[in-house]
Structure 1
Amino acid sequence: MSKRAVLEVIALDVEDAVAAQAGGADRLELVSDMAADGLTPSAATVAAIRGAVDIDLRVMLRLADGFAAGDVERLTRAAGRLREAGATEFVLGFLDPGGDVDLDAVERVAGVLDGCRWTFHRAIDRAANRDALRKQLADFPGLDTYLTAGSAQGVDEGMSVLLAEARRRREPGYGQQLLVGGGLRLEHVPGLREAGIDGFHIGGAARPTGWEGPVSADAVGEWRRALGE
């Protein structure tokens, strides 16, 4: 069996963060505005959450819905403010209009992060060529994780891709941790664990009453038990 799995939970505020930690989350992804699939939270929110929990936090760097970088100067300023608020890990990922990685934007934002660890998020699931994107970012400073469902349609559609990528983990561009999220359900877990995948990311699955309601420590605990204590 592979090593203990990491369970990451999306948190919007302190209440979410405290419940996620109580349920056994290892890490939080901090975002705002889930109607736009998760945007950059305020520095004040990040500071408040950092003060309320002691598990790892990864903070989203994304200004608008979609996968274009947009105003890179604003992004770099936001990254600086978030670092001042106590953020040390981040989530980002930008594509150009052709679906290739926007290397200029990634380089400029990651430059401000100055070696902080970060996740390339589900923009990879919209990439024109996943393999090319991974190889372009193979040795990128700080990049240690890909958040992916294997498909833009979610884990049901992307399972074969996830299993294939897990088998390639010793190849250049495939050494980063696979963090599976996007339509992830408990019944997916055994097959993913069997393949050696050890990163799991949940959002709606941690909120029994939907995105208008808070994270449930009990729901997170169910995932923690499914993944192994």
Structure 2
Amino acid sequence: MFQAVIFDMDGLLGDSEPIWQEVAIDIFKTVDVPLTVEICQEATGLGTAEFVKYIHTRYPWRHKSCDQIGEEILALAHERIGAAAHEMPGATELIRFFHSLNIPLAVASASPMNIIESVLERLNLRSYFTLWHSALLEARNKPYPDVYWGAARLLGVDPAACLAFEDSGNGLKSAVAAGMLTVTVPAAYEYNDPKFDIATLKIPSLLHFDQNIFDTLLKKLA
């Protein structure tokens, strides 16, 4: 049996990715950077600081520091996500499935702890999770494995005996590098991108996860 199941959050449990994109576009307007949804999608899965640096390499701006832009994005995202995020299809059912098996559940996210907690509260999922962990508490953010290693360490489990769920390419790299079996649930616009081929399994929605898939993954664990 798996010792733990660890979930990404943005774009996987909650539909917060579009909100992050809207916030980033609004904040970057203040420094005249013509950010688009497509540019945001290129950096899906990065932490806020890494995302801001990525945009700065493409559109150097003046008058505000990268740190200031990042702080403004986080503040506005916390406000909007806490008020507007909705559950991704199948999220609650899947979490209840694993919870019924008494498998410890955790979140490993690039978002800060206050936003993780806001989303779990809004989606009424907090009580199912043993813990949640932010990559901002580790030395490196995704795509490095630190946040998944950190979650496993806090749970007291072996990363190789964990199952991780991710929706982004950068997040998937993080979980694979941590040595976990992985299920990736890419967005429709990039579902066929080969960057997701490193996953143990790829599905179009959490709704597609069923007992047969779980049994197949258990065999791979053995």
More helix by share: 2
More strand by share: 1
Normalising to structure 2: TM-score of the pair? 0.33
